[in-house]
């Protein structure tokens, strides 16, 4: 039997899975990695810890199966986490997390100087972000840090180099750096000129079906694998999750219900970005495109309500039962789930969360359900952005912890009026990496077909009895918001 490995380099957790070529998970393992929050909104990690943890996680997963049957390793990675490198590709200093805001001032200035249209035409997004601001900041603080022969890498390609000796990336990972032009499908030369960065300082760009190499002999021995195991190019974790959930067709929208809710909409052409913060990129599947849009809010709002009400000791099933105690609409209680410090797309700057219509008869259950309903309405608002941009949507594919709830997916289906397909396996990015690994072993088979074969089963939730009620409810939500421009509703 032929087996493959999937490795997911998450921001706070690294996961490995071993599957067969039908996607059956035979072994898995995970371990957390530390993330350091510093003054002035700096957020850092250690490459050495990420690499060491990845090797440990792989070794422990491999030990659970017949390692001689493993023939390929696929890599999924967090996007936009930058690592300065010495000329030999060894790390210099810490990883600058994608959560790090120390380059925000430079990003804002660059956006103002070049304009949204200039950025959109080159990057598929209307704002500078991530690598651009960080490179500009470092050039001001210590210019030699980013001058050749020094190199600039990212978490995925740093780990790939440690595994197979080659610093490589793909379009999906590169797209989250703000250095990639999705129309030219390469680094954007104009942006690199503005940053005074040579393309040779950056990771080599590969197609997702092209092997990065084979495991270095000493690495294979350390993990417990045979010689010659193929290693994939590292891909962005959202696109890996798309493979793991079967989000591989135009009109699919994958919905990651984590701390921040993230949408990945699939189209057959490079549709204009739905917000200035959206990321347009080629999909791992040839001839289709993806667009990543973050709602800024999501599971963090739900957890805020749990903490506020002192419900931390309750299980997910018990929380579901509490939510089911009250009817749709929460008897007049309405919630705006705008609790993060970031401005929210389409709304007036400074718009914040609200709990409205509170009465003496409202209790814990009303507040909990109002948060879910508010999040569902906010999700619908972003889906409208996509619809206005010409993105067709026929189904929502939901992954993340909230997908296991018996009530949240139903409310989402009712409010959005779309079927919600809930992934039944939680490690979809690692599973997607395994799909990528299988693609290395089956070069004549389309990656789309491999993903359809290996993707996790889904639980379908259709719009139900409250569908008509929520059509009016969501319109009232939209009408009450302080929109940034007239007619945006």
Predicted confidence (pLDDT) per residue in 102-161, tens digit: 999 999 999 999 999 999 999 999 999 999 999 999 999 998 889 999 999 999 999 999
CB 408 within 8 A of CB 399: no
Of 266, 164, 238, nearest in space to 206 by CA: 164
Q: For the whole model, what pTM was predicted?
A: 0.94
**Mean pLDDT across the chain:** 94
Taking residue 27's Cβ as centre, other Cβ atoms within 10 Å add up to 16
Pairwise CA distance, residues 413 & 461, whole Å: 7
The helix (H) or strand (E) run that includes residue 240 is helix 237-245
CATH class for the region spanning 3-100+149-238 = alpha beta
Q: Concatenated DSSP letters for 321-336? A: HHHTTS-TTGGG-EEE
Distance, CA of 362 to chain centre: 36
Task: Name 181's bridge partners.
Answer: 186
Task: Give residue 341's pLDDT.
Answer: 65
Task: Give residue 450's pLDDT.
Answer: 98
Query: Mind listing the pLDDT tens digit for each residue in 400-412?
Result: 888 899 999 999 9
CA torsion sign for 217, 221, 223, 229 is positive
Pairwise CA distance, residues 93 & 95, whole Å: 7
Task: Name 223's bridge partners.
Answer: none
- What are the residue ranges in the chain where pLDDT is below 50? 486-489
Task: Give residue 16's pLDDT.
Answer: 98
CB 254 within 8 A of CB 90: no
CB 302 within 8 A of CB 257: no
Q: What are phi and psi of 149, to 5 degrees?
A: -90, 5
Q: Where are the domains of the chain?
A: 3-100+149-238
265: which 2 tokens? 């909409």
Q: Concatenated DSSP letters for 300-316? A: HHHHHHHHHTT-TTS-H
Pairing of strands 230-231, 70-77: parallel
Three-class secondary structure of residue 284 per DSSP: coil
Task: Give residue 489's pLDDT.
Answer: 47
CB 305 within 8 A of CB 312: no
Taking residue 320's Cβ as centre, other Cβ atoms within 10 Å add up to 16
Strands (E), 89-234: 95-96, 151-154, 168-169, 180-181, 186-187, 204-205, 213-214, 230-231
Of 459, 473, 461, 463, nearest in space to 327 by CA: 473
434: left (phi over 0), alpha (psi -120 to 50) or beta: alpha
Q: Concatenated DSSP letters for 394-444? A: SEEEEESGGGG-SSHHHHHHHHHTS-EEEES-S-HHHHHHHHHHHHHH-TT
3: which 2 tokens? 């087996």
Pairwise CA distance, residues 408 & 337, whole Å: 15
Taking residue 12's Cβ as centre, other Cβ atoms within 10 Å add up to 11
Task: Give residue 486's pLDDT.
Answer: 44
Placement of tokens 């989000």 in the chain: 247
Measured CA angle at 207 (ends 29, 438), to 5 deg: 40
178: left (phi over 0), alpha (psi -120 to 50) or beta: left
Give the CA radius of gyration of the chain: 22
């Amino acid at each position: 039997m032929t087996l493959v490995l999937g490795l997911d380099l998450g921001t706070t957790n690294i996961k490995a899975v071993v599957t067969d070529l039908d996607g059956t998970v035979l072994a898995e393992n995970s371990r957390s990695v530390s993330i350091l929050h510093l003054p002035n909104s700096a957020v850092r990690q250690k490459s050495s810890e990420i690499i060491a943890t990845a090797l440990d996680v792989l070794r422990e997963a491999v030990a659970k199966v017949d390692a001689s049957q493993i023939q390929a390793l696929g890599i999924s990675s967090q996007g936009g986490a930058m690592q300065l490198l010495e000329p030999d590709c060894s790390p210099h200093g810490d990883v600058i997390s994608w959560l790090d805001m120390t380059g925000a001032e430079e990003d804002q200035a660059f956006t103002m100087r070049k304009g949204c249209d200039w950025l959109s035409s080159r990057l598929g997004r209307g704002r500078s972000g991530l690598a651009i601001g960080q490179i500009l900041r470092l050039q001001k603080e210590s210019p030699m840090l980013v001058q050749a022969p020094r190199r600039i890498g990212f978490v995925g390609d740093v780990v790939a180099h440690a595994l197979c000796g080659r610093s490589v990336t793909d379009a999906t990972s590169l797209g989250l750096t703000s250095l990639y032009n999705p129309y030219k499908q390469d680094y954007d030369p104009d942006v690199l000129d503005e940053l005074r960065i040579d393309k040779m300082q950056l990771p080599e760009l590969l197609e997702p079906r092209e092997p990065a190499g084979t495991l270095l002999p000493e690495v294979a021995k350390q993990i417990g694998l045979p010689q010659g195991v193929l290693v994939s190019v590292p891909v962005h974790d959202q696109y890996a999750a798309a493979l793991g959930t079967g989000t591989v067709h135009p009109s699919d929208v994958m919905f990651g219900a984590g701390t921040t809710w993230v949408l990945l909409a699939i189209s057959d052409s490079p549709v204009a970005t739905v917000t200035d913060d959206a990321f347009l990129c080629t999909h791992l599947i040839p001839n289709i495109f993806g667009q990543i849009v973050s709602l800024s809010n999501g599971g963090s709002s739900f957890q805020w309500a749990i903490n506020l009400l002192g419900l931390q000791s309750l299980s997910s099933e018990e929380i579901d039962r509490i939510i089911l105690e009250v009817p749709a609409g929460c008897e007049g209680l309405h919630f705006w789930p705008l609790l993060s410090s970031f401005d929210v797309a389409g709304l007036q700057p400074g718009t914040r969360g609200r709990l409205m219509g509170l009465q003496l008869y409202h209790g814990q259950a009303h507040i909990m359900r109002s948060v879910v309903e508010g999040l569902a309405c906010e999700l619908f608002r972003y889906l409208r952005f996509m619809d206005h941009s010409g993105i067709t949507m026929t189904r929502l594919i939901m992954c993340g912890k909230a997908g296991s709830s018996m009530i949240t997916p139903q409310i989402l289906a009712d409010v959005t009026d779309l079927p919600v397909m809930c992934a039944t396996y939680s490690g979809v990015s690692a599973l997607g990496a395994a799909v990528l690994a299988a693609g290395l072993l089956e070069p004549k088979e389309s990656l789309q077909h491999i993903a359809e074969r290996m993707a996790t089963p889904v639980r379908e939730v259709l719009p139900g009895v409250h569908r008509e009620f929520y059509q009016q409810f969501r319109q009232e939500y939209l009408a009450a918001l302080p929109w940034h421009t007239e007619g945006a509703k």
